[in-house]
Structure 1
């Protein structure tokens, strides 16, 4: 069975040439496509036995993956074709009920700059994983100021989380861009006018 356009788009965003991304979107792939993740595992039953269970959910969006892998061209293509920068990352189960998560969330990478993420591929299937290393791969994060500018121009909100992260980055341009965006054009113009007046006064 041929892969769906959305699956192929996810794979192109992760590893393919940008021309493939554009072609797939023009052919009908959604710029908001998500990676498909399936977990198959042996679960205990109420009678003391076991049975195989399977759950399939949608995970990261194409835009999130393009950002994660630092693919500036892919980010621009997706945004130009209508990718939603505010698309929520909500995992809904097919079976209903509640799910207990024994884990944690974090807004930052590890100390070495890596982040554990899903394996590459438009469709990822895990069969009864037993080790933490068997459920993820590591990506080295490389902040990209041009990607940030693209996202800000598309309506991304800047919160204290992003500002705190930028303050820890050795390149001050990251913080300057975020602060400028959060203040808005009115305050930026006021600041620029004041700086110009100070400069003129010093020159006089």
Structure 2
């Protein structure tokens, strides 16, 4: 049941249906649901024939899709329903070949064309700091200089059968960072590390960096204040303990002298 609901949730996020997103989560879908992509291909069996091979991976999360599509309302619902605001964001893109049948080594080593990853939803929202790892293990910055990256074709549960061309497996997506989404992530406790700050520095719109830097400094100040308050409380307790010991000794001395 939850698998079906999770798939429907991804569909609703991609379609921008805010009311359905809320309804599905309340019905049991996970706010951290991820797109499920299954690749099926005809692979040469070494005897002149072929066998069908299949592999499935979890791809974009509901929150990642909401961020990528710049849908503030859906991101708001997901966050309010408990979507995780920290942790790596990662998805894979299937490979494709125009050959009638795939060679065995292509299936074993290169069935997934590339992997896209961002250190956190916040970095994804800033639109910088991601990595694209190709099928040969080479790593590039993502998004590219044209602000583009690749995302899986639409659907909560996608089955790609013997793909032969690019549109069969992915869509080229232009990243458009949203300050409102960044603010909502911060309001729900998204952590800021040097990684996110470096990502924001790469965005030509410096409002992203100044916003993250100011929030980070405020959090650090609050943590410092809490730490100092705890130290003061501990010191006060120690002083009180010493004072009690001193009074005990004074009482003992008075008893002896009397």
TM-score between the two structures when normalised by the length of structure 1:
0.76
- Identify the residue that residue 18 of structure 1 maps to in structure 2: 18
Q: Which stretch of structure 1 is more off in the superposition, 176-185 or 5-14?
A: 176-185
Greater relative CO (CA pairs within 8 A, separation 6+): 1
- Identify the residue that residue 28 of structure 2 maps to in structure 1: 28
State the Cα deviation string for residues 101-159 of structure 1 (Å, max 9, x = none): 52445452122222111011111111112334432101121110111112123232334
- Identify the residue that residue 5 of structure 1 maps to in structure 2: 5
Which of 1 and 2 has greater Rg? 2
| Structure showing the higher helix proportion among its residues | 2
Secondary structure of the residue aligned to 1:4 is helix
Distance 1:52 1:73 in 2: 42
Return 5+ residue gaps in structure 2 as ranges. Answer: 92-107, 111-134, 225-258
Distance 1:28 1:125 in 2: 24
| Structure showing the higher strand proportion among its residues | 2
- Identify the residue that residue 50 of structure 2 maps to in structure 1: 50
1:139 corresponds to which of 173, 176, 180? 173
Pair 1:183-2:221 in alignment: no
Q: 1:161 to 1:131 in 2, by over 3 A?
A: farther
Deviation at 1:188, TM superposition (A): 8.3
Secondary structure of the residue aligned to 1:10 is helix
Q: 1:157 to 1:44 in 2, by over 3 A?
A: farther
Q: Is the 8 A contact 1:41 1:54 kept in 2?
A: yes
Distance 1:161 1:189 in 2: 20
Distance 1:105 1:67 in 2: 23
Q: Note the aligned Cα RMSD (angstroms).
A: 2.8
Distance 1:144 1:89 in 2: 17
Distance 2:14 2:37 in 1: 15
- Identify the residue that residue 188 of structure 2 maps to in structure 1: 154
Distance 1:186 1:85 in 2: 19
Return 5+ residue gaps in structure 1 as ranges. Answer: 92-98, 191-204
- Identify the residue that residue 67 of structure 1 maps to in structure 2: 67
Deviation at 1:6, TM superposition (A): 1.3
- Identify the residue that residue 95 of structure 1 maps to in structure 2: none
